Amino acid sequence: MKTLSPIFLSLLSIFFFNGCSPSKEKAINDPTRVLIVVGPSNHAPGTHEVAAGGRLIEYCLENMENVSGFEADVVYEWANIPQPLDAYASIVFIGDNFPAERFENADQAMEDIAGMMARGCGLICVHYGVGLQNEHMGPDGDHPLLHWMGGYFAAKCDHHQSIARHYDATIEAADSEHPIARGWNTFTLREEPYINIYFGPNDNQLLPNAFAVATSMLPPEDPKREMIAWGTERPDTGRGIGITMPHFYKNWLNEDLRRFILNSIVWSAKQEVPEEGVQTQLPVLETFEPESVEFVPKKK
Ligand SMILES: [Zn+2]
């Protein structure tokens, strides 16, 4: 019998080690990297909890039960980012107002992020991370975030006023066929889903590439269908999503909300969202070192 050549044997071993487990190969060779950027916040303990929330997102992404290959880095300033910016498939922002605008080196951060967006990087903002103020934009309300994400919370802006209140809100997926809607059901919880979001200068209609992700009938005394999460698929191929929750840290325990957010991050990184949605263990909230798990009113 003819002996097998060493080259053939090495090809065979590559096939058996890698060919049979594509997801494992991906995990070893080609991780999907997500950068989680935590901005400043001065909300009461148990609310916002942006640093703990960032660490929780990192943990969940690296421990998804049915999606492999994700690695995440958390930074608390726009400096010392562990990987080259080109290594990241998506950026998640959590903080009070869009964190990039809150850093001392905001101009550098905005320029770097613009470069990442131009190559099709994803972008997600959660809760108040979707917010901008007058000082961040010109009088017409235009800002790069509008184009990167498809809309923003206009916090006391001259051109538009979005609204933040607490409700027992019922959250519904806007398009049940969209990958972000996989594996979670309409849910109701005490939250602060922002309404009257700013979507653009054309009578607040969505820009051409933007779409609704989730809606809620708000406010209770005069309900109309409000977009409380939205997204865009940009001409640069990048995907942006704004999700106006969670205000309360303990709402990360809500399976539907957590899956909705994790689905969105996976989708923004251009990876496949499983049919049943992203599955994760219930996180132990204390592990991520919040000031408090439960809401504690601020001392005046
Ligand atoms: Zn809030």
- Over residues 115-138, the pLDDT tens digits come to 999 999 999 999 999 999 999 998
> What mean pLDDT is predicted for residues 29-42?
94
Residue 18 inside a domain? The answer is no
Residue 6 has pLDDT above 80, yes or no: no
User: Does residue 21 lie within any of the structural domains?
Assistant: no
Ligand 1 mean position, distance from CA 47 (Å): 7
Cβ–Cβ under 8 Å, residues 188 and 168:
yes
The total number of structural domains that make up the chain: 1
In a domain, 36, yes or no: yes
187 inside domain = yes
Query: Could you identify the residue written with the tokens 């190559």?
Result: 119
- Is 8 contained in some domain? no
- Phi-psi region for residue 55, left (φ > 0), alpha (ψ -120 to 50) or beta? alpha
Distance 285 CA to ligand 1 centre (A): 18
Which residue carries 């975030």 as its tokens?
A: 145
Q: How many A from CA of 155 to the centre of ligand 1?
A: 12
Q: Residue range 206-226: average pLDDT?
A: 98
Average pLDDT rounded to a whole number, residues 152-162: 96
Residue 40 CA to ligand 1 centre (angstroms): 13
Ligand 1 center to 157 CA (angstroms): 18
Separation of 193 CA from ligand 1 center, angstroms?
8
Residue 26 three-state SS: helix
Domain range enclosing 155: 29-288
pLDDT in tens, 78-89: 999 999 999 999
Spacing, Cα 10 to ligand 1 middle (Å)? 56
The token pair that represents 124 in the structure block: 């997600």
From ligand 1's centre to the CA of 68, what distance in Å?
31
How far does the centroid of ligand 1 lie from the alpha carbon of residue 43, in Å?
8
Buried b (16+ CB within 10 A) or exposed e, 136-167: bbeeebebbbbbbbbbbbbbebeebebebeeb
How far, in Å, from the CA of 14 to the mean position of ligand 1? 50
pLDDT tens for residues 98-119?
A: 999 999 999 999 999 999 999 9
- State the pLDDT at residue 299: 78
- Give me 116's structure tokens: 């990442």
247 assigned to some structural domain = yes
Q: What is the mean pLDDT of residues 187-216?
A: 98
CATH of the domain at 102: 3.40.50.880
Contact 94, 38 (CB under 8 A): yes
Closest CA to 36 of 83, 89, 93: 93
Distance between Cα 6 and ligand 1 center (Å): 62
Report the separation in Å between the CA atom of 74 and the middle of ligand 1, taken as the mean of its atom positions: 21
Percent helix / strand / coil, the chain, rounded to 5: 30, 25, 45
44 contacts 296 by C-beta, under 8 angstroms: yes
* Residue 153 domain flag: yes
Alpha carbon distance, N-terminus to C-terminus of the chain:
87
Q: What is the DSSP string of 34-57?
A: EEEEE----PPTTB--HHHHHHHH
Distance (Å, whole) CA 98 – CA 103? 10
Q: Let me know if residue 165 belongs to a domain.
A: yes
Q: What is the CA(163)–ligand 1 centre distance, in A?
A: 11
Assess contact for 269 and 67: CB atoms under 8 A.
no
